[in-house]
């Protein structure tokens, strides 16, 4: 079976033909142009898909909360204006007359890791992606747990600090306010204005900048606080951590050490594992909706 899979992100959209072995052919990536709004994003998606032939179904991973039964966007933040309510499945089916499934991007990434990546040996695990915010997914017996309204695992919106610590510069005391990559860069820029992104930050640390190293250590401690709470609630076999910043093995090891310092001994078997599929996880996870 061949699946035309697409992964709609806030910055770029990826696309390709996936098979049962997890191979991706005819891969391409193009700017999402999300600032132009949901209707433009979907019309651009349809135009790009029109170049593909000889596939059996279409699977789409997308930013935003998704009603998977009906294939529309329940809610999307302002990064993609006018995206909430977009009936993606209906629009794609009407254009190409193929079966279509739509899934949230972090759920799709978790499924990709479950079937083709770092989580293949785990039936029950959590997946978190650290980027602009923090995305989450809950996998139980290789199935996504969706909650009562289908939008479970908004881990980034856990409250990890008291409301009294809310400030105009940082925002509400959510987990992602202090533990996202955005938060890390914000902390680093206060110490060194040249740290405009994670790459600059870690390049400077490799030259021996102890002050920035201490900031990273403080940031991973924030990451560990959230992970420790999730471990005590879900008792997962593993937590898969993804996002560009987590590509660094030493950072994942530091997060694991700090997390295990915070959890009860009876939970200490949990593994904290770096995601292995990179920017292909969403594509492969979307395809798995048909392939599994």
Q: How far is CA 201 from CA 31, 114, 208, 209, in A?
A: 25, 31, 11, 9
Q: Residue 277 has what pLDDT? A: 95
Q: Is 271 exposed, middle or buried (0-12, 13-18, 19+ CB in 10 A)?
A: middle
Residues 185 and 246 in one domain: yes
Q: What is the DSSP string of the chain?
A: --EEEEEE-SSEEEEEEE-TTS-EEEEEEEE--GGG-HHHHHHHHHHHHTT--S-SEEEEEESSEEETTTTEEEE--TTSTT-TT--HHHHHHHHH-S-EEEEEHHHHHHHHHHHHSTTTT-SSEEEEEESSSEEEEEEETTEE---TTS----GGG-B-S-GGG-BTTTBS-BHHHHHSHHHHHHHHHHH-TT--SHHHHHHHHHTT-HHHHHHHHHHHHHHHHHHHHHHHHH--SEEEEESGGGG-HHHHHHHHHHHHTTS-GGGTT-EEEE-SSGGGHHHHHHHHHHH-
The tokens describing 96, both together, are 């190409």
The domain that contains 21 carries what CATH number? 3.30.420.40
Both 104 and 203 in a single domain?
no
Tokens at residue 288, please? 């798995």
Give yes or no for a contact between 14 and 28, defined as CB atoms under 8 angstroms apart. Answer: yes
Query: Is residue 133 in a domain?
Result: yes
Whole-number pLDDT of residue 265: 97
Residue 51 falls inside a structural domain: yes
Q: What is the structure's pLDDT at 125?
A: 98
Does the residue 164 lie in any domain?
Answer: yes
Domain total of the chain: 2
Q: Has residue 227 been placed in a domain?
A: yes
Please report the pLDDT score of residue 170 as a whole number: 61
116 within a domain of the structure (yes/no) = no
Same-domain status, 161 and 264:
yes
Q: Is residue 73 part of a domain?
A: yes
165-182: pLDDT as tens digits: 776 556 688 999 999 999
Supply the pLDDT for residue 169: 55
Averaged pLDDT, groups of 10, the chain, 292 residues long:
95 95 96 95 98 97 94 92 97 98 96 96 96 93 92 93 71 90 94 91 91 96 98 98 92 97 98 95 96 81
Co-location of 138 and 264 in the same domain: yes
pTM value? Answer: 0.90
Same domain, 174 and 258: yes
- Is 287 found in the same domain as 272? no
Q: CA torsion, points 240, 244, 245, 251, in degrees to nearest 10?
A: 50
Residue 115, domain member (yes or no): no
Q: State whether 256 and 152 are in the same domain.
A: yes
34 with 76, same domain: the answer is yes
Q: Which domain holds residue 61?
A: 3-109+280-291
My answer on whether 287 and 219 are in the same domain is: no
Whether residues 20 and 94 fall in one domain: yes
Domain annotation covers residue 114: no
Please name every residue paired with 138 in a beta bridge, in sequence order, or none if there are none.
126
Same structural domain, 29 and 52 = yes
Residues 131 and 272 both lie in one domain: yes
């Amino acid at each position: 079976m061949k699946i035309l899979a697409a992964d709609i992100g806030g910055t770029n959209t990826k696309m390709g033909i996936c098979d049962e072995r997890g191979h991706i052919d005819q891969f391409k990536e193009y700017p999402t142009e999300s600032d132009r709004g949901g209707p433009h994003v979907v019309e651009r998606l349809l135009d790009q898909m029109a170049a593909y032939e000889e596939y059996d179904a279409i699977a789409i991973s997308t930013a935003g909360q998704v009603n998977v039964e009906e294939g529309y966007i329940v809610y999307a933040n302002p990064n993609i204006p006018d995206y909430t309510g977009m009936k993606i499945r209906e629009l794609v089916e009407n254009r190409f007359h193929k079966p279509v499934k739509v899934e949230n991007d972090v759920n799709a990434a978790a499924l990709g890791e479950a079937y083709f990546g770092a989580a293949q040996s785990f039936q029950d695990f959590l997946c978190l992606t650290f980027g602009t915010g923090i995305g989450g997914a809950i996998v139980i017996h290789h199935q996504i747990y969706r909650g009562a309204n289908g939008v479970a695992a908004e881990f980034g919106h856990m409250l990890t600090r008291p409301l009294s610590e809310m400030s105009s510069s940082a925002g509400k005391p959510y987990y992602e306010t202090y533990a996202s990559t955005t938060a890390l860069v914000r902390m680093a820029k206060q110490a060194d204005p040249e740290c405009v992104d994670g790459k600059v930050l870690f390049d400077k640390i490799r030259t021996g900048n102890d002050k920035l190293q201490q900031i990273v250590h403080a940031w991973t401690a924030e990451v560990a606080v959230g992970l420790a709470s999730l471990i005590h609630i879900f008792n997962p076999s593993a937590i898969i951590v993804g996002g560009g910043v987590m590509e660094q093995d030493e950072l994942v090891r530091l997060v694991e050490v700090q997390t295990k310092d915070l959890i009860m001994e009876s939970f200490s078997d949990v593994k904290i594992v770096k995601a292995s599929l990179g920017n292909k996880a969403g594509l492969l996870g979307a395809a798995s909706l048909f392939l599994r």
